[in-house]
Amino acid sequence: LALTAEQRERYARNLLIPGFGEAGQERLAGASVCVVGLGGLGSPAAFYLAAAGIGTLGLVDSDVVELSNLQRQVLHDTDRVGMAKVTSAVQSLAALNPDVRLRPHDERLTRDNAGALLADYDAVIEACDNFESKFLINDVCLEQRKPFATAGILALSGHALFVVPGQSPCLRCVTPSVPQGEPTTSDFGVLGVVPGMLGSLEAFEVIRWLAGLWQPGADGAGALHSVDGGTVRLKTVKIPRRRGCPCAGLWSDAQ
């Protein structure tokens, strides 16, 4: 997987990062990441993963581009209203970086297909707009011991969590079961820059893990990153492992 002269130029600013170098770039080139949801969170995540030189990107979405998506879903553009989001995403990402192998999955992630669909990938970006899919991805990634980033957004606020099963707390450590009756962006909207920040943060965590720059927290604690748009405050809350969580059996000190 030695870099070509052209790749050395394309990724010059990656290669200069202390602790990253050619080894980090080659790790990214050999890696595969599945982005589930090609909307507000998936757009920046997929763009930055492709730009960084991830070898293979899976792209999962069954929707078509709508005019009301374009205020935040920057993978897509006005000419593509009515086009399948996976097709639009492939066009945008191939134009950005032809090095990346793109695997479109024009389907909705379900309990029946999630295991087989995610099995091929080294890591997952959860970029869905509903709690059922977020918890489904959590559970499948725990089963497959696969790292994943998850995020939620509403109005002017959002949060993100990166999970390495057995090394950091999972979504069910934070929220044990699927919340019911919570408002969504269909109720209170969302400013496009909010998923822009949180989706970028998801890509950041996954790239750091793939490049070998990620470290588990002390005592296995995780970090929930939050953006509060009311004050434009960014904060990180320490998340402990939860006793009795489905992820508990994956820890090396599991009893």
Q: Which residues bind Zn ion (CB under 5 A)?
A: 170, 172-173, 245, 247
Nearest distance from C-beta of residue 124 to Zn ion, angstroms: 16
Select from 199, 161, 184, 186 the least CA-distant residue to 73.
199
Nearest distance from C-beta of residue 212 to Zn ion, angstroms: 24
Q: Which residue lies nearer to Zn ion by CB, 177 or 215?
A: 177
Residues 6+ apart with CB under 8 A from 4: none
DSSP SS3 for 247: coil
Tokens linked to 244: 């009795």
Nearest distance from C-beta of residue 250 to Zn ion, angstroms: 9
Name the pairing type of β-strands 222-228 and 233-239. Answer: antiparallel
Q: Which residue lies nearer to Zn ion by CB, 18 or 244?
A: 244
Nearest distance from C-beta of residue 170 to Zn ion, angstroms: 3
Nearest distance from C-beta of residue 176 to Zn ion, angstroms: 9
Name the pairing type of β-strands 123-126 and 148-154. Answer: parallel
Q: Which residue lies nearer to Zn ion by CB, 73 or 150?
A: 150
Q: Which residue lies nearer to Zn ion by CB, 50 or 173?
A: 173
- Rounded CA separation 7/3 (Å): 6
Q: Which residue lies nearer to Zn ion by CB, 80 or 172?
A: 172
DSSP-based helix, strand, coil % in the chain, nearest 5: 40, 20, 40
